Structure 1
Amino acid sequence: MEEIIIIPAIFIGLPWLILHYITKWKTSATITTDDEVLLEELYNLAKRLDDRMDTVERLVASDNPEFRPARLVHDSEQDNQQLRELEQLLAEKKGAAK
Structure 2
Amino acid sequence: MKQVLFTATTKTTTIPLLIPRKAKTDIKVHNFVEGVQVFINAWVIGRDPNFWEELDLFCPERFIRSEMDVKGKDFGLIPFEGGRQICLGLLLAMRIFVTA
State the TM-score, normalized to the length of structure 2. Answer: 0.24
Give the structure, 1 or 2, with the largest relative contact order (CA under 8 Å, sep 6 or more): 2
